[in-house]
């Protein structure tokens, strides 16, 4: 494993060089968090489909347990059980509208990962960076457990566990654990853990920060120690179920898949599951004793347990829904934790928007009315007074709102309209509106993906590294 250790040190040095101005040292946070022998234990795998362009290149890297779809190049990097989704890469000749500009893509877009260390991350391209449409770059970056890099090129960054950067170009910055950032462009910033920040220049600014004493119960990070807290305990308790999915070659489906729906080969399906038409279940999703209505989706690293989703529900990357009843058109954002209890279920009304990184962990039954914006930490009905707001009223805000720990500035209508358009796009892209012939999306396009594996060197000087290889059509 000497070559892997040398590669790890190279990556950390490059990350730290980029972060020197904000005096951040990544090494204490990641050194030893993944035992070195783990990098030689797992195969990597990639998908082949006539609907997804194929061009994969790996050089001097370790990609243990990671998944690749689309066009991607990985150089001098360590990816551990990380999903790289390139199913929305732009094609040569596409015209991209940005503000008053219309920019033509000169070449097929490629995901390029270089000198980076990603641990159990979800990377989805869908980049909106108008300055570099042909490459989605992740360089000199270290990202910890269950972080999401969604449409966000990064250069010289550190992402804490369960953090998300979304539609944001980020350089030389640190994102604290369980922070969600959608801010267009972030340069040379150190974001506190538990910060929820959605910003659009000239339009609005949504800012919420968790009390640190509450956040530490859910995700706690101490330099030199493993990530701990309720989130990690929840995932670790279900780890064995995923082991079988990856160890068994031929898994029999427990039920037939309805028209227009897709169930990923690497999802965990426990008893008593109902999937309706146009449902999308992505890899590493976990479903148990639940009902998903037409057009609902469970994206990567989602858990849906003892719950009912009525239809056209978006359960974004890493979100968890337990003991809950969800109305139609409910959006549950990245890494949210909706934890009802057997004795007091959670009920979320139709057309609600649950902001990314929301924690609902109930001590009593809670019912959120239709059409509400939801954020923060909720455990009882009284918490709805300061951490929910009718979406129709939020759209009437002209100057701002201070409610509990939330600071909102700017135009509420622009904020609401932006979210609604985003949710519609997600449903459309995922195939929720497929009618049998038109409106294909990921649920239909992913039905016939074939999975192929690649293996690392099992011993010798190169143990844990993968051979330099290029895979083309």
* Domain encompassing residue 180: 2-227+448-471
128 pLDDT above the threshold of 80: no
Would the pLDDT of 402 be above 80?
yes
Residue 408 domain-assigned (yes or no): no
Average pLDDT value for residue range 51-66? 95
Residue 403: inside a domain, yes or no? no
The pLDDT value given to residue 127: 72
Shared domain check, 287 and 215: no
Residue 126 has pLDDT above 80, yes or no: no
Do 313 and 429 fall within a single domain?
A: yes
Residue 251, pLDDT > 80, answer no
What is the pLDDT at residue 412? 98
For residues 361 and 283, membership in a common domain is answered with: yes
In this predicted structure, what is the pLDDT of residue 252? 78
Look at residue 244 and tell me whether its pLDDT is greater than 90: no
Q: Residue by residue, what is the 3-state secondary structure of the chain?
A: CHHHHHHHHHHHHHHHHHCHHHCCCCHHHHCCCCCHHHHHCCCEEEEEECCECCEEEEECEECCCCEEECEEEEECCEEECCEEECCCCCCCCCEEEECCEEEECCCCCEEEEECCEEECCEEECCCCCCCCCCEEEEECCEECCCCEEECCCEECCEECCCCEEECEEEECCEECCCCEEECEEEECCEECCCEEEEEECCCEEEEEECCHHHHHHHCECCCCCCCECHHHHHHHCCHHHHHHHHHCCCCCCCCCCCCCCEECCCCEECCCCEECCCCEECCCCEEECCEECCCCEECCCCEEECCEECCCCEECCCCEEECEEECCCCEECCCCEEECECCECEEECCCCEECCCCEEECCCCEEECCCEEECCEECCHHHHHHHEEEHHHHCCCCCEEEECCEEEEECHHHHHHHHHHHHHHHHHHCCCCCCCCCCCCHHHHCCCCEEEEECCCCCCCCCCCECCEEECC
* 177 and 37 co-located in one domain: yes
Question: 436 lies in a domain?
Answer: yes
User: What pLDDT shows up at residue 272?
Assistant: 93
| The pLDDT of residue 22 | 95
Over 90: is that where the pLDDT of 17 sits?
Answer: yes
Please tell me the predicted confidence (pLDDT) of residue 416.
Answer: 98
Q: Is position 415 within any domain?
A: no
Percent of the chain scored above 90 by pLDDT?
86
- Give the per-residue pLDDT at 253: 76
Same domain, 173 and 246: no
pLDDT at 176: 98
In a domain, 233, yes or no: no
Residue 133 is predicted with a pLDDT of 85
CATH, residue 11: 2.160.10.10
Q: What number is the average pLDDT over the span 150-160?
A: 97
Looking at per-residue confidence, does 129 or 9 come out higher? 9
In this structure, are 105 and 22 located in the same domain? yes
Whether residue 129 has pLDDT greater than 80 = no
Same domain, yes or no: 464 and 392: no
Residues 207 and 324 grouped into a single domain:
no
Q: Residues 312-342: pLDDT tens digits?
A: 999 999 999 999 999 999 999 999 999 999 9
pLDDT one-digit tens code per residue, 347-401: 999 999 999 999 999 999 999 999 999 999 999 999 999 999 999 999 999 989 9
pLDDT at 254 over 80: no
Q: Are residues 140 and 287 in the same domain?
A: no
Give yes or no: residues 149 and 292 share one domain.
Answer: no
Is the pLDDT reported for residue 225 higher than 90? Answer: no
In a domain, 329, yes or no: yes
For the chain, the domain total comes to 2
Residue 270 lies in a domain: yes
Q: Can you tell me the mean pLDDT for 154-174? A: 97
Question: Is 413 among the domain residues?
Answer: no
Which tens digits make up the pLDDT trace of 418-457? 999 999 999 999 999 999 999 999 999 998 899 999 999 9
pLDDT of residue 439: 96
Mean pLDDT, the chain, rounded, equals 95
Give yes or no: residues 179 and 280 share one domain.
no
Same domain, yes or no, for 441 and 452?
Answer: no
């Amino acid at each position: 494993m000497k070559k892997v250790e040398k590669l790890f040190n190279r990556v950390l040095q490059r990350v730290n060089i980029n972060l020197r101005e904000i005096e951040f040292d990544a090494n204490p946070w990641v050194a030893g968090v993944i035992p070195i022998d783990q990098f030689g234990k797992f195969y990597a795998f990639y998908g082949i489909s006539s609907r997804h362009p194929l061009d994969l290149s790996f050089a001097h890297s370790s990609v243990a347990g990671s998944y690749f779809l689309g066009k991607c190049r990985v150089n001098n990097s360590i990816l551990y059980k990380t999903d790289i989704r390139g199913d929305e890469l732009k094609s040569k000749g596409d015209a991209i509208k940005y503000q008053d500009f219309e920019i033509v893509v000169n070449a097929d877009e490629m995901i390029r990962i270089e000198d980076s260390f990603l641990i159990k991350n979800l990377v989805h391209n869908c980049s909106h960076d108008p300055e570099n449409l042909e490459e989605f770059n992740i360089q000199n970056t270290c990202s910890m457990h269950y972080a999401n890099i969604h449409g966000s090129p990064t250069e010289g960054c550190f992402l804490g566990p369960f953090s998300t950067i979304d539609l944001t170009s980020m350089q030389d910055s640190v994102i604290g654990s369980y922070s969600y950032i959608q801010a267009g462009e972030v340069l040379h910033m150190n974001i506190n853990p538990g910060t929820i920040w959605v910003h659009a220049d000239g339009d609005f600014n949504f800012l919420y920060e968790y009390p640190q004493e509450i956040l530490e119960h859910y995700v706690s990070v101490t330099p030199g120690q493993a990530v701990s807290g309720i989130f990690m305990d929840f995932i670790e308790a279900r780890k064995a179920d995923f082991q079988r999915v990856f160890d068994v070659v031929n898994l029999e489906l427990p039920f037939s898949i309805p028209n227009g729906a897709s169930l990923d080969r690497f999802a965990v399906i426990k008893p008593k599951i109902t999937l309706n038409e146009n449902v999308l279940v992505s890899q590493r999703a976990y479903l148990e004793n639940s009902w998903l209505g037409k057009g609902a989706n469970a994206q990567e690293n989602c858990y849906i347990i003892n719950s009912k989703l009525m239809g056209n529900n978006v359960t974004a990357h890493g979100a968890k829904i337990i003991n809950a009843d969800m109305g139609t058109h409910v959006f549950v954002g990245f890494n949210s934790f909706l934890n009802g209890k057997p004795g007091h279920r959670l009920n979320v009304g139709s057309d609600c928007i649950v902001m990314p990184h929301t924690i609902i962990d109930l001590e009593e039954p809670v019912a959120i009315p239709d059409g509400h914006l939801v954020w923060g930490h909720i455990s009882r009905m009284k918490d709805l007074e300061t951490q929910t707001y009718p979406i129709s009223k939020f759209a009437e805000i002209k100057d701002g709102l201070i409610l509990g720990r939330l600071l909102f500035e700017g135009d509420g209508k622009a904020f609401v309209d932006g979210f609604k358009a985003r949710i519609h796009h997600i449903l459309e892209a995922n195939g929720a509106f497929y009618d049998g012939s038109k409106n294909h999306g990921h649920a239909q396009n992913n039905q016939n993906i074939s999975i192929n594996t690649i293996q690392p060197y099992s011993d010798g000087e190169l143990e844990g590294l993968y051979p330099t290889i290029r895979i083309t059509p």
